[in-house]
Structure formats: structure tokens, C-alpha cells
């Protein structure tokens, strides 16, 4: 036997074996291994982020709301409205006098005072009237001063103007709400509008009952 050739053969065999192992380690993994290796990465990408603590309590900390229908109502009338249309005299337009509507209602038992609001529901509850601690139940046309009332002045089209009068057990001198501005939450979160009603009965226990009127005004009329 030629030992030199044998040595060369063994050496060649070892080199080939090492090369084969190296190529197997550096080559592409089988398809099933690639898919399996992607599972943890995909799971990590779809895992929802940690919920901030303040969001966890958002629902329980949300202001309590109530339906206006849950409290009693009284009849509210006005000589400034006819067939569901407000008299142009109450408007802040060229054809109006910018005077508050005439209002009347029967005195409510146990009421210390009343709060009056007028909002344009067609313009994100734009507040046209906000009077606190009203002691009268007969308000003449033009009763409210200019710090509490500004007449409708729609830029165009027909707008709806609602008036609410709240009879209150404890009547504050001030009530919240943005005068001559929009009040997005007026209809759904009454406590956001009347947060200053400090009553031992809590909210909405300070409201005994309410009166309501709704009418429209069309720009240019």
C-alpha cells in the first residue's frame, strides 16, 4: 500500500466532511424551520400595548349622565314664538332688536330660583341665553341684559333654538356654561353646564323640574 496516497485520501475525506458540515450550517433552513421561527416575532408584533392606567379607569371615572326625561317638567310659554317660529325681534340681525324672548311659567313649589338657558342646537348648542338665580316667573321681552343674552344670528339657513328653565332647590348666583359659544356636551352632560349648583342633595337632585320651548328662525326672515 502506498502510504502517501492513503494520507492524501484521508486528508481529502476530512476536508470534504468539514466543508459539508459548514455548508449545512450556513445554508437556508428548511421551510418548516423558517415558518416556526417567525411565530414568536409575529406574536410580538400583534401583542397589544400595555393599557395606560388612566385609560383603564376612563369608563368608571366618566361623568355621570342622566336623561332629562327622568325629572318632572312644567309648562313654559312665550309670546315671542308663533307656530314654532321665533319672532325676528329677538334676533341679533338687521331685522331684529336683540331682545330676550318673553317667558312665563307657574311658580314651582320649593324652588329657591330658576336658571334659564337658550341654545342653538343647529350650531353645536351655541348658547344665546344664560341667566342664573332668576326669582321671577314672568319675564318680559327684553328682560335679560346684554351680558346674559345675545339674539340668534345664524349665517344662513334655518336654525333651531331651545329654551330650558330649571327650577332649583338651591339657586346659585353663577352657573357654568360658555355664553355666546358652542357647548358640545350641553345635551348629554348636564352637570358640565351646571357644575356650580352646590346642593346638599347632590347632582341632579338640585333640579326640581324644568320647562322647555323650541322654535326655529331662518336667516333673512
Return the HEC string of 114-135. Answer: EEEEEEEHHHCCEEEEEEEEEC
- Look at phi and psi of residue 118 and say left if phi exceeds 0, alpha if psi is from -120 to 50, else beta: beta
pLDDT, residue 118, reads 98
CATH class of 73-218: alpha beta
Q: Residue 104 belongs to what H/E stretch?
A: strand 103-104
Cell 331651545, residue? 162
- Tell me the mean pLDDT in the region 81-94: 98
Q: Using an 8 Å Cβ cutoff, are 90 and 152 in contact?
A: yes
Instruction: Give the pLDDT band of residue 187 (cuts 50, 70, 90).
Output: confident
pLDDT band per the 50, 70, 90 thresholds, residue 192: low
Residue 202 confidence (pLDDT): 62
pLDDT at 17 over 60: no
Q: Tell me the helices (H) and strands (E) count for the chain, helix number first.
A: 5, 9
25-52: average pLDDT = 37
How far apart are alpha carbons 205 and 201 in whole angstroms?
5
pTM, rounded to two decimals: 0.69
On the question of pLDDT at 29 being above 80, the answer is no
Ranges 12-16, 122-126, 145-149, 176-180: which has the least confidence: 12-16
Mean pLDDT over all residues of the chain? 76
Per-residue pLDDT at 196 exceeds 70:
no
Per-residue pLDDT, averaged over 47-70, amounts to 44
CB half-sphere exposure, 195, CA atoms < 13 A: 10
Alpha-carbon span 60 to 19, nearest angstrom: 67
Amino acid at each position: 500500500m502506498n502510504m502517501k496516497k492513503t494520507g492524501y485520501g484521508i486528508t481529502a475525506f476530512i476536508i470534504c466532511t468539514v466543508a459539508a458540515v459548514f455548508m449545512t450550517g450556513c445554508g437556508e433552513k428548511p421551510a418548516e424551520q423558517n415558518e416556526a421561527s417567525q411565530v414568536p416575532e409575529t406574536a410580538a408584533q400583534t401583542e397589544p400595548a400595555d393599557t395606560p392606567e388612566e385609560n383603564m379607569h376612563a369608563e368608571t371615572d366618566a361623568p355621570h349622565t342622566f336623561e332629562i326625561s327622568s325629572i318632572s317638567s312644567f309648562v313654559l310659554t312665550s309670546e315671542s314664538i308663533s307656530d314654532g317660529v321665533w319672532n325676528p325681534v329677538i334676533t341679533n340681525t338687521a331685522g331684529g332688536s336683540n331682545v330676550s324672548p318673553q317667558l312665563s311659567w307657574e311658580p314651582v313649589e320649593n324652588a329657591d330660583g330658576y336658571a334659564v338657558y337658550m341654545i342653538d342646537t343647529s350650531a353645536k348648542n351655541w348658547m344665546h341665553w344664560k341667566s342664573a338665580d332668576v326669582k321671577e316667573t314672568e319675564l318680559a321681552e327684553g328682560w335679560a341684559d346684554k351680558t346674559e343674552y345675545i339674539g340668534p344670528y345664524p349665517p344662513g339657513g334655518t336654525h333651531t333654538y331651545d329654551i330650558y328653565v330649571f327650577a332649583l332647590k338651591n339657586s346659585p348666583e353663577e352657573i357654568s356654561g360658555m355664553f355666546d359659544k358652542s357647548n358640545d356636551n350641553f345635551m348629554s352632560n348636564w352637570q358640565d353646564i351646571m357644575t356650580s349648583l352646590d346642593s346638599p342633595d347632590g347632582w341632579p337632585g338640585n333640579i326640581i323640574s324644568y320647562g322647555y320651548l323650541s322654535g326655529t328662525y331662518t336667516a333673512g326672515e
